[in-house]
Amino acid sequence: MLICNSCISALANEIDYTPQPYYNFFTGTVEEVTKVDDVTTKIYLKNKDDLEAYFILSENTYYADGVKIEKGLEITGYYESGKPMIMIYPPQYTIDIITPVYKEGFVKVDKFDSNLLSKDKQLKLNISEETEIVWENNTQIYWFAKPTIEDLETVLGNRQMIVYYDFTTKSLPAQTTPSKIIVLSQQVEDKINIIVEDVIINAPNAYINEAGNVMVPVRAISEAFGHEVRWNNDEKSVQIGSDISFKINETNYSVAGTLVTLEEASVKDSRTFVPLSFFKEVMKINVVSYLDDNIILHSGRPITE
């Protein structure tokens, strides 16, 4: 992957990351239903603000709670947020999931990670024995013994799900104990590419923590920039070159004796992770950016267009 010289200055300050949901949605009332062929249906809808949209439903569309599409019914259609769309009006959405508009309770449709945190970092699930878990093909899960948190994360983590719930905490992220979950997908862990000086490096998976911070493997990236990295097991500290050091679970990073305060460093799967902003604020890398599941770090030296 090459970054053009003219793009470097535009990327240089892009280290903020706003988590996005796996699905976007549109809610509206069905105005027209057109059968396109044996497996495709086109629906014209208007919402309460008179905004219009078309839904394209296929054999792959999942109909939650057996919803039947008919004129006058208010429904919500969910479509994958990262897919390209034709820029027309009214917009035309290829719908993955259809739900009715529920009169009571709330519904969240998203991908949830191994900690049962939604992709947009807005909702964390706390499963109880009363939570009904249903697979897309209506297969129930019956536990022979009370499952541990690890059991539940193994079963439900890294999947797209429809989550039904009544209340949430006022914390960030909000937490809830769902009454019902419909599991829609195979387990697939998101992969974030790390690109250093235009090269995708071999590195432990970056991740986004519950506070919404992008956490990256410090050794792999630092060594890709040519820096020596040393680990002190007694002090649980990291030394990079001769000037930079920090300790695990502390927010202060020392740069030639000057302290910089950031999100604390952490250890995951025996690897040390730091916030992505570390490379901007501490190591003074010119380009530090997270765009479209790519972490891009570049010194800013001129390269081939």
Q: Is the pLDDT of residue 277 over 80?
A: yes
Kindly state whether residues 110 and 51 are assigned to the same domain.
no
Kindly state whether residues 51 and 143 are assigned to the same domain.
no
- CATH code of the domain in which 64 resides: 2.40.50
Give a yes or no: residue 178 inside a domain: yes
Strands laid side by side in the 180-183 sheet = 106-112, 159-165, 180-183, 132-135
Q: Pick from 183, 204, 237: which residue ends a domain?
A: 183
The stretch 95-117 carries a mean pLDDT of 92
Quote the pLDDT of residue 208.
78
Q: Minimum mean pLDDT among 73-87, 122-136, 144-158: which range? A: 144-158
Q: Is the pLDDT of residue 52 over 90?
A: yes
Q: What pTM was computed for the model?
A: 0.64
Buried b (16+ CB within 10 A) or exposed e, 175-211: bbebebbbbbeeeeeeebebbbbeeebebbbbbbbee
Higher-pLDDT residue of 85 and 54 is: 54
The stretch 185-197 carries a mean pLDDT of 76
How far from 85 is each of 24, 41, 129, 196, CA to CA, in Å?
12, 18, 41, 30
Report the half-sphere exposure of 96 (CA within 13 A, side-chain side).
19
How far from 132 is each of 109, 116, 142, 164, CA to CA, in Å?
16, 15, 10, 10
- pLDDT tens, position by position, 28-42: 999 999 999 888 999
Query: Residues for the chain: how many in total?
Result: 305
- pLDDT tens, position by position, 199-228: 889 898 888 787 778 899 999 999 999 999
Kindly state whether residues 37 and 121 are assigned to the same domain.
no
How many structural domains is the chain composed of? Answer: 3
Q: Minimum mean pLDDT among 232-241, 245-254, 286-295: which range? A: 286-295
Kindly state whether residues 118 and 88 are assigned to the same domain.
no
Of the chain, the end-to-end C-alpha distance in Å amounts to 11
Q: Pick from 153, 183, 213: which residue ends a domain?
A: 183
Give a yes or no: residue 198 inside a domain: yes
The two three-digit tokens of residue 164, written as one number: 């039904």
Kindly state whether residues 91 and 155 are assigned to the same domain.
no
Q: Is the pLDDT of residue 145 over 50?
A: yes
Kindly state whether residues 123 and 145 are assigned to the same domain.
yes
Give a yes or no: residue 253 inside a domain: yes
Judged by DSSP in three states, 122 sits in coil
Rounded to whole angstroms, the Cα distance separating 150 from 177 reads 16
217 closest CA partner among 192, 188, 182: 192
Residue-number span of the structural domain to which 58 is assigned: 23-100
Q: Pick from 41, 68, 100: which residue ends a domain?
A: 100
Contacts of 207 (CB under 8 A, 6+ apart): 113, 192, 214, 215, 268, 273
Q: Is the dihedral of CA 287, 201, 18, 247 positive or negative?
A: negative
Task: Give the whole-number percent of the chain exceeding pLDDT 70.
Answer: 87
Q: Is the dihedral of CA 298, 300, 302, 304 positive or negative?
A: positive
The stretch 97-106 carries a mean pLDDT of 93
Per the CB < 8 A criterion, the answer to whether 247 and 265 are in contact is: yes
Per the CB < 8 A criterion, the answer to whether 257 and 239 are in contact is: no
**Which amino acid would we find at residue 193?**
N
Quote the pLDDT of residue 3.
45
- CATH code of the domain in which 260 resides: 3.30.457.10
Give a yes or no: residue 1 inside a domain: no
Quote the pLDDT of residue 144.
67
Higher-pLDDT residue of 76 and 185 is: 76
Place of tokens 């008919």: 70
User: Would you give the DSSP letter of residue 211?
Assistant: T
Quote the pLDDT of residue 6.
43
Q: Is the pLDDT of residue 265 over 80?
A: yes
